[in-house]
Amino acid sequence: MARIDPKAVLEGRMPGRPPVALVIGLTVSSLCALAALGIDALYGGAGFWVGMVLAILPIPLLIALVLTLDRMEPEPPRALVFSFMWGAGVAVLGALVLNTLGLLYVTVPIFGEVRGHFVSATFGAPVIEESLKGAVLFGLLWWRRNEIDGFADGIMYACMVGLGFAMMENVTYYMRAFDLGGTKQLQTVFILRGVVAPLSHPLFTSMTGIGVAWAATHRRGRLAAPILGLLAAMLLHGLWNGAAAMGLGGLGSVYVLDAVVLAALLTVVFVERHNTVKRIELVLPMYQPTGLVTPADIRMLRSIPARRAARRWARTLGGRGAAKAMEDYQLAATELALLHKRAERGVAEPRWFEARRDSLLDLMGLARQTFLRTAPPAQRQGPPWADPGPSGFVPPPAPGPYG
């Protein structure tokens, strides 16, 4: 069998170095993030460093929580990193410039100082910020449509761009709170933004992510769904900003709104995961004649704990390489099931479908051989999800046309 790059197969791209466009995008986003931080440092006081530390502090935990929703079919790390950096760089700097210009030259001259700030926060900022954050999702829809297999994927990318944006925005809020009100006001702002509702921006942008995911996986509504999703993100963002300016009652209402939206998004993710399991049970049996899939494998693939147990078994059998091969097998099998979902919905071009299917089957074959044959037969233990034979070992099936 020819040499296979598992990561390239799973991400649906050509093997080799990162694309030039990705490198340029990350460079531009990083420079924008540095420029935004430079502006904060220039106009802020001693609170800049305090604000930056507090803004960054919860980000690893929040990212870890978001990634737990993506364990069955993880998105490419490079795409997630790019989304985060876009939110922290391009979206933040663009919003800073456009919001400031709108405030100085539109809302304050027309409505006055106090009302102008309210109008800008409630109507101007949501339009600008959600458009800038959503731009990376529209870019994924245009250039990496086949990477988005469902609503959970759209939510994942939206959460990453939202977390990047929120982190940088919080630097400004914490800095101002410390410089204007000292430690007491900083504590209040940190509790409200960093502890009680740290996922506001990800939740808003998830509306755009859902619309983009619909467009990527359905033939109908490809134009309307992303636009409606973006409008919903702007609406939620505007309600949040407007209500937050109305005292404790307003704050209470927007926190309840956040909780409702979060519950709805979690429901969407878990329902979709359940449907993915059903699709695995429906699709993979047709590949049993290839020798790459057995009923025991299908039972293993349909639950996160069983997958984890299989990786532990593979590590015991053949070390880290076997465990990685097991992981590649699991992901390729899941991608294969999702590929059939795209085909059933009419959003998979036939030639691309065949090429993608064959590359996934090749990877499954290579991975299966690796995790079943890395240790001497006398040391092999039966997989925990299958009934072992008399020797305690479940032998690999005869190679099929893709094995």
Transcribe 53-104 into DSSP letters.
HHHHTTHHHHHHHHHGGGSSSPPPHHHHHHHHHHIIIIIHHHHHHHHHHHII
The arithmetic mean of pLDDT across residues 230-240, rounded, is 95
**pLDDT value of position 129:** 97
**pLDDT value of position 133:** 97
Measured at the CA of 243, the angle between CA 58 and CA 265, to 5 degrees, comes to: 55
Rounded to whole angstroms, the Cα distance separating 33 from 165 reads 10
Contact 161, 83 (CB under 8 A): yes
The arithmetic mean of pLDDT across residues 376-398, rounded, is 45
Q: Is the pLDDT of residue 242 over 60?
A: yes
Q: Is 28 exposed, middle or buried (0-12, 13-18, 19+ CB in 10 A)?
A: middle
The arithmetic mean of pLDDT across residues 340-351, rounded, is 91
In 3D space, the residue among 87, 78, 92, 81 whose CA is nearest the CA of residue 37 turns out to be 92
**pLDDT value of position 237:** 95
What 3 state SS string does 164-209 have? HHHHHHHHHHHHHHHHHHHHHHHHHHHHHHHHHCCCHHHHHHHHHH
Q: Within 13 Å of residue 156, how many CA atoms lie on the same side as its CB?
A: 25
The CA–CA distances, whole Å, from 272 to 23, 267, 276, 364 equal: 32, 8, 6, 24
Query: Which band of pLDDT confidence, cut at 50, 70 and 90, is reported for residue 285?
Result: very high
- Phi-psi region at 399: left, alpha or beta (left = phi > 0; alpha = psi -120 to 50): beta
CB-based contacts of 15: which residues, under 8 Å, 6+ apart?
A: 5, 8
Place of tokens 């400031």: 100
Six-digit token string for 12: 């649906």
Rounded to whole angstroms, the Cα distance separating 241 from 250 reads 9
Q: Highest mean pLDDT range out of 251-260, 372-381, 392-401? A: 251-260
**pLDDT value of position 60:** 94
Contact 337, 283 (CB under 8 A): yes
Q: Is the pLDDT of residue 397 over 80?
A: no
**pLDDT value of position 398:** 38
Q: Is the pLDDT of residue 81 over 90?
A: yes
Q: Is the pLDDT of residue 117 over 50?
A: yes
Mean pLDDT of all residues belonging to the chain: 87
For the chain, what are the domain ranges? 11-245, 276-403
Answer positive or negative: Cα dihedral of 61, 175, 137, 81. negative
Q: Is 180 exposed, middle or buried (0-12, 13-18, 19+ CB in 10 A)?
A: exposed
Q: Is the pLDDT of residue 308 over 60?
A: yes
Compare 20 and 206 and report the one with higher pLDDT: 206
Q: Is the pLDDT of residue 80 over 80?
A: yes
**pLDDT value of position 16:** 63
Q: Is the pLDDT of residue 293 over 60?
A: yes
Query: Which band of pLDDT confidence, cut at 50, 70 and 90, is reported for residue 401?
Result: very low
Q: Residue 184 CB: number of other CB atoms within 10 A? A: 9
**pLDDT value of position 386:** 53
First-residue to last-residue Cα distance in the chain: 9
Q: Residue 357 CB: number of other CB atoms within 10 A? A: 18
The arithmetic mean of pLDDT across residues 357-383, rounded, is 74
**pLDDT value of position 370:** 84
Rounded to whole angstroms, the Cα distance separating 182 from 160 reads 31
Rounded to whole angstroms, the Cα distance separating 173 from 40 reads 10
**pLDDT value of position 385:** 55
Contact 150, 108 (CB under 8 A): no
- pLDDT tens track for 14-72: 676 677 888 899 999 999 999 999 999 998 878 899 999 999 999 999 999 999 988 88
| DSSP-H helix ranges across 284-303 | 295-301
Query: Which band of pLDDT confidence, cut at 50, 70 and 90, is reported for residue 380?
Result: very low
Query: Which band of pLDDT confidence, cut at 50, 70 and 90, is reported for residue 396?
Result: very low
The arithmetic mean of pLDDT across residues 299-317, rounded, is 90
